């Protein structure tokens, strides 16, 4: 299995088949890997092999995909979800040996973090290219900001040693606007950083809503390899 999209599909399907059970409240992640988990849930529900699911989407992408498959959708504000969700299945951009994450390549990290942190179990599904010896070595840290704070936040990130730039749309003029109506700044740090301290520091900058650093909830991992095997790390 050398096609990366086949590995992603195996991860999404494998995660659902191993961990999703009747009656669960589920968080459905965002991106080209997590979308396969939503598709598998939809397929099992349609075939009557899974029942009683209520799902919370982490993005418009996932919401549309899940609704098109007939998955019953809810929000964390709904009756019956006062305790959050049982399990969230989501992807990531980088995962280090301590299971600290960079997410937000798809710009959905704020909602992803809200749902992940409201989950009893948080399962991250990644192909093995996402395993990182130093967080930030390949992906910038995404920072979601209100529009009025773009300039000040870019300058504050510069003072912290990052090359920061506003994320621009592809096939859309101007910047990417998130599902929550905000803008994104990608911050590329040249050297190693303390992700836990950096997450806290960035959130203190006025106008920053959240970042793609996930350091407060260590996920379970399902790692996919090019030969098709999946490796579960608790
Ligand atoms: C979305 O904002 C991200 O956090 C995704 O979960 C992450 O970028 C992984 O996406 P892929 O599975 O498409 O690589």
The residue whose CA has the least distance to atom 12 of ligand 1 is 33
Per-residue pLDDT tens over the stretch 173-194: 999 999 999 999 999 999 999 9
Nearest CA to ligand 1 atom 10: 31
Contact present, 67 and 59 (Cβ < 8 Å):
no
| Sequence-distant (≥ 6) Cβ neighbours of residue 129 within 8 angstroms | 4
Between the CA of 1 and the centroid of ligand 1 the distance, in Å, is 21
Query: What's the gap between Cα 204 and its chain centre?
Result: 22
Annotated catalytic, 220?
no
How far is the C-alpha of 161 from the C-alpha of 147, rounded, in Å? 22
Instruction: Report the sign of the C-alpha dihedral through residues 123, 111, 127, 101, in that order.
Output: negative
Q: What is the pTM of this model?
A: 0.96
If one counts every other C-beta atom within 10 angstroms of the C-beta of residue 139, the result is: 19
| Chain segment 32-90, per-residue pLDDT in tens | 999 999 999 999 999 999 999 999 999 999 999 999 999 999 999 999 999 999 999 99
- Please give the distance of CA 191 from its chain centroid, rounded to a whole number: 24
- Which atom number of ligand 1 is nearest to the Cα of residue 126? 12
Verify whether ligand 1 is closer than 6 Å to residue 142 (CB atom): no
Please count the other Cβ atoms lying within 10 Å of the Cβ belonging to residue 74: 17
């Amino acid at each position: 299995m050398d096609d990366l999209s086949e590995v992603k599909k195996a991860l999404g399907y494998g995660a659902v088949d191993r961990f999703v059970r009747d009656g669960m409240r589920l968080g459905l992640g965002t991106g080209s890997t997590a979308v396969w988990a939503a598709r598998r849930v939809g397929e099992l529900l349609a075939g009557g092999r899974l029942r009683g699911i209520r799902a919370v989407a982490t993005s418009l992408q996932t919401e549309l995909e899940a609704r098109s498959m007939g998955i019953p959708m809810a929000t964390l504000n709904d009756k019956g979800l006062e305790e959050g969700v049982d399990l969230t299945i989501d992807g990531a951009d980088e995962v280090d040996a301590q299971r600290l994450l960079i997410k937000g390549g798809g710009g959905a990290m704020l909602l992803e973090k809200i749902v992940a942190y409201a989950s009893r179990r948080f399962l991250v599904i990644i192909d093995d290219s996402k395993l990182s010896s130093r967080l930030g070595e390949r992906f910038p840290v995404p920072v979601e900001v209100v529009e009025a704070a773009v300039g000040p936040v870019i300058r504050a990130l510069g003072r912290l040693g990052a090359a920061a730039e506003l994320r621009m749309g592809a096939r859309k003029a101007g910047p990417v606007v998130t599902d929550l109506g905000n803008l994104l700044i990608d911050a590329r740090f040249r050297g190693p950083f303390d992700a836990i301290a950096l997450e806290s520091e960035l959130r203190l900058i006025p106008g920053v809503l959240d970042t793609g650093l996930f350091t407060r909830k260590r996920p379970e991992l399902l790692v996919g390899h090019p030969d098709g095997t999946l490796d579960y790390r608790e």
